[in-house]
Structure 1
């Protein structure tokens, strides 16, 4: 099962060795066996008994407000934390930050190239200019970057060009003029913001299972957010998980602008039925498996995030080169 989503307002209680979510429709029992994380995507009340129960069972709790805004995460005590690893991670931040940051941004570009190449092969030849830039010019620009600020500029350029390519292959009613995050102002921005936040919090859950310290990041500033390493490791998976899911939901008409979004004067959000459809599609993508070319066995995309954490650990502790997940190479 892995993940439990709670979409409506209500109360969460401990009941024996399980949980009970009570809302206007009555009681909903939640067996905790196999659950790694719970998402409260509306206003949910609970007491310290629930928190203690989740902590003892190593379940991460992600909290959102009624407007899909991420409020925070209850993170059980750090059972895997290692003082040696923290020291080495700080040393890597001082000595290898630019190398690791460049690897992450290169991984973003390579995975976007792989995702868009599918549309290029299906008669969207206008994508060739962007694909050529990703393959040739972007890596050179990244290689010549001499600071984190220059690396971040290259990353911003990748995403800007990526967003501008959407008009070439997405349904017209989902096209947008620019990326707007807080609050999202149209259906596509709403999907991107919500999808990215789910991926970010999923990444937190996977890093929790490693010895890495969530607070020490390399591409993003460690001061940017408490768990900024999750921002780092989630970046290369955005094209693979979030955007492939969005493109599928939009182009295969699983989501409708009229039926699945609530629009107000200055914001646009998924309604409850829209959330159910999008979350089901996201979960399907997280749980989709592929043959890992290094491990030589089937691995889900969700577990691939954890394996990127292990790769980073090997970089930090054993001086291996960090190469984040590649959709093309399947590793």
Structure 2
């Protein structure tokens, strides 16, 4: 199992990351902001237009250190991948499955069943923990819809139908999302999902966390030898990491969404950390990103018991565990892909 190490976040807008021996050095003009040994890092996220030196990029690719480039405002720009690696036989099997409607449908079912069950469990946990602060009937009605969609997905015989049922489930789940915000409701009122660009604080927060989780899933897939660009439920599109988007589905409710809610309900974030641009887009300030990233690092260190592997692992290792199970299924070592179910 992959060891969970540190992720270095470079958030200063003018910072430049460079290689010095076996260390990454962060500089801003003539000032050295920090020096970190590469062997303690599993990822480097750079929120700076200055970027990084080619030598550092090459070293990160060589050492399989995840490197992600974003704008200072948190929009994803690029992620170097280097030479294509991994088991060519595994990828050939992946490409075959992507062209086989029956197998593609079966694995898409598991991705979405995992997502809907986890959405249901998030709502059920809210009833259990905060029954006196919510309208229990509204949550139970949403849970009923999610249960119905679970049945529909299990009966589905094509990917298009699965996408439709997933959309109905997502609508029911997000209809109760605003009720799960128990603090600072004025700054974080949720009136529906919007993106590209996000138009309010909570959607900016969701998009930022989804971006970090998608990058983790992409790295996990490459680590086990799968092609993150060829998915089963998400169709191929130039530049889109379709398989990473498949893998993230089951992890959104239990990992990303609950993390966002905890940031708000525990007072880690507030309205002062967000800026509205003339275009209407909402962005997260540098200080806000730092706090979110630190909290994300802490969340990744928390341990859970994996329901299929029956092992204690960190949340941060979960995408790698699921990628490993997915690779086993593609190779034919497992009869089906076991989606992660949070309880």
Equivalent of residue 34 in structure 1, options 33, 36, 40: 40
Does 2:49 correspond to 1:43?
A: yes
TM-score (norm 2): 0.89
Name the structure 2 match of 1:131. 143
| 2:11/2:46 contact within 8 Å kept | yes
Displacement of 1:294 in angstroms is: 4.1
Secondary structure, in 3 states, of the residue corresponding to 1:38? strand
Secondary structure, in 3 states, of the residue corresponding to 2:283? strand
Cα deviation 1:184-210 (Å, max 9, x = unaligned): 111001001101001000111112210
Displacement of 1:293 in angstroms is: 4.1
Name the structure 2 match of 1:262. 275
CA distance in structure 1 between the aligned counterparts of 2:80 and 2:40, rounded to whole angstroms: 18
5+ residue gaps, structure 2: none
Cα deviation 1:211-259 (Å, max 9, x = unaligned): 21222211101226442211111111111211111111111222111x2
Name the structure 1 match of 2:107. 100
CA distance in structure 2 between the aligned counterparts of 1:45 and 1:240, rounded to whole angstroms: 33
Displacement of 1:83 in angstroms is: 1.8
Report 1 or 2 for greater relative contact order, CA contacts < 8 Å, sequence distance ≥ 6. Answer: 2
Displacement of 1:25 in angstroms is: 8.5
TM-score (norm 1): 0.92
Does 2:305 correspond to 1:291?
A: yes
CA distance in structure 2 between the aligned counterparts of 1:52 and 1:206, rounded to whole angstroms: 19
| 1:145/1:151 contact within 8 Å kept | yes
CA distance in structure 1 between the aligned counterparts of 2:139 and 2:290, rounded to whole angstroms: 32
| 2:12/2:47 contact within 8 Å kept | yes
Name the structure 2 match of 1:3. 7
Q: 1:177 to 1:30 in 2, by over 3 A?
A: same
| 1:314/1:320 contact within 8 Å kept | no
Equivalent of residue 336 in structure 2, options 314, 318, 321: 321
CA distance in structure 1 between the aligned counterparts of 2:312 and 2:30, rounded to whole angstroms: 40
Runs of 4+ residues over 6 Å off in structure 1: none
Name the structure 2 match of 1:17. 22
Secondary structure, in 3 states, of the residue corresponding to 1:168? helix
Does 2:96 correspond to 1:91?
A: yes
Q: 1:162 to 1:24 in 2, by over 3 A?
A: farther
CA distance in structure 1 between the aligned counterparts of 2:274 and 2:327, rounded to whole angstroms: 41
Name the structure 1 match of 2:200. 186
